[in-house]
Structures are given as C-alpha cells and as structure tokens.
C-alpha cells in the first residue's frame, strides 16, 4: 500500500490514525502545508521503506523515537528537508539499520553535531545536510570499504555527503553550497533503491 499526495496544499496536523495502516510501504507527503509534530504513531508502520515529509511546516524537535520504533528495520529513505523542525540530531537514529538515504537539508534550526552513534548506520550511502546549523565532523561515518573517498568522481564514492560547516576527511565527493535540487531529489526517483524509486508521472494513492 502506498500514499503519495505531494503538492496538494493539504494542511492541518497529520492524524495519528495513520499509524493503523500497517500495510503501508511507501509514503510521500512532501510539499504541502502540514503543521504540528510528526505523530509518534507512525512508528507502528514496520513495512515502510520510503517516507518523505519535507517542504511542510512541521515543528518541534526531530523525532528520535523513529530509531526505536518498528520503522528502524524497514526504513531505507527518510526525507524531512525544508521544515520547521529544530534541535539536535537524535542519537537513536543510529539504530536505523536499513537506512540508505537521509535528506534533512534546508533546516536552519537543526543544530549540534552528528552523533557518534550514527556510525552504526552501515548502509547509509547518501546524506543531505546543507543549509542547517550543524557543525563538527562526519569522519566517524567513514568506513574501510570506502576505498575511493579521495576521488573527485562522485561515481566512486561510497558515501555522498554535502559539506558546509561539517568536516570530513574521507569524502571529497560532495554537493556544494550552490546545489539546486532536481525533481529527482524531491521525489527520490533516482535514488537507486531496490524498490525502483518513485514514478513521478504516476503518483497515486492506493495499494500495490
């Protein structure tokens, strides 16, 4: 089952009842006017691989409970760019053992450093963190198998991290500060996920 409702000017808070739709695998709520906090009940959705919630007016702190919920084993793509979320990065997200792509750019209220616990996200190969207030280093995310980190060719990198005020000794394959998002960045169509990404020409609500 999937829900894709981008660019529909939907507003209000997300209903906690979404947490009852345990067959959901694919959720795209981006580019609406949703407000309030992200409901903790979404943690009951243990089959979701793709969760996109960016470009909304969500507020409150980043939901650390995601890392200790049923989402921790299934979630491979998590996107919360351009929101009003604030605070430091949750150490609990280090328990997202399946996570491959994490997009949280254009959130200037996100502060602090990248937790050492995130080194446990061994499948992570892409992280978008520009236009935040993060500082420090991502060196603890570098892994031995990423032997091509010294290359300037993005195709050779095992982990793609955009750098702004965050230091990285092993990743020179970066998205610069002038990066402009494409439609693929917004909807994950070119993420190379085993599910094949999203078909932007066939955005639907329904089951598969």
- Listed as ranges, residues in the chain with pLDDT below 70 are 143-166, 168-208
The mean of the pLDDT values for the chain is: 78
Contact 22, 44 (CB under 8 A): yes
Q: How far is CA 201 from the centre of its chain?
A: 22
- Look at the block and give the residue holding tokens 């200037």: 108
The H or E element that residue 187 is part of is helix 183-187
Q: 3-state class of 19 per DSSP?
A: helix
* Longest pairwise C-alpha distance within the chain: 47
- Nearest alpha-carbon partner for 200 in 1, 3, 2, 4: 4
Residues 29-78 have pLDDT tens digits of: 999 999 999 999 999 999 999 999 999 999 999 999 999 999 999 999 99
- The pLDDT score that the predictor gives to residue 40 is 96
């Amino acid at each position: 089952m999937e829900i894709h409702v981008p660019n529909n000017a939907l507003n209000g808070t997300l209903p906690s009842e979404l947490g009852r739709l345990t067959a959901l695998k694919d959720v795209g709520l981006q580019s609406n006017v949703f407000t309030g906090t992200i409901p903790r009940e979404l943690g009951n959705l243990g089959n979701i691989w793709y969760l996109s919630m960016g470009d909304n007016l969500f507020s409150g702190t980043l939901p650390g409970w995601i890392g200790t919920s049923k989402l921790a084993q299934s979630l491979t793509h998590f996107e919360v760019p351009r929101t009003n979320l604030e605070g430091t990065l949750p150490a609990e997200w280090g328990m997202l053992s399946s996570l491959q792509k994490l997009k949280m750019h254009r959130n200037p209220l996100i502060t602090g450093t990248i937790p050492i616990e995130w080194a446990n996200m061994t499948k992570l190969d892409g992280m978008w963190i520009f236009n935040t207030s993060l500082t420090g280093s991502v060196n603890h995310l570098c892994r031995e198998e990423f032997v091509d980190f010294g290359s300037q060719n993005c195709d050779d990198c095992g982990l793609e991290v955009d750098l702004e005020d965050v230091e990285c000794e092993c990743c020179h394959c970066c998205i610069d500060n002038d990066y402009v998002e494409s439609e693929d960045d917004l909807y994950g169509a070119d993420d190379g996920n085993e599910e094949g990404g999203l078909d932007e020409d066939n955005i639907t609500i329904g089951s598969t």
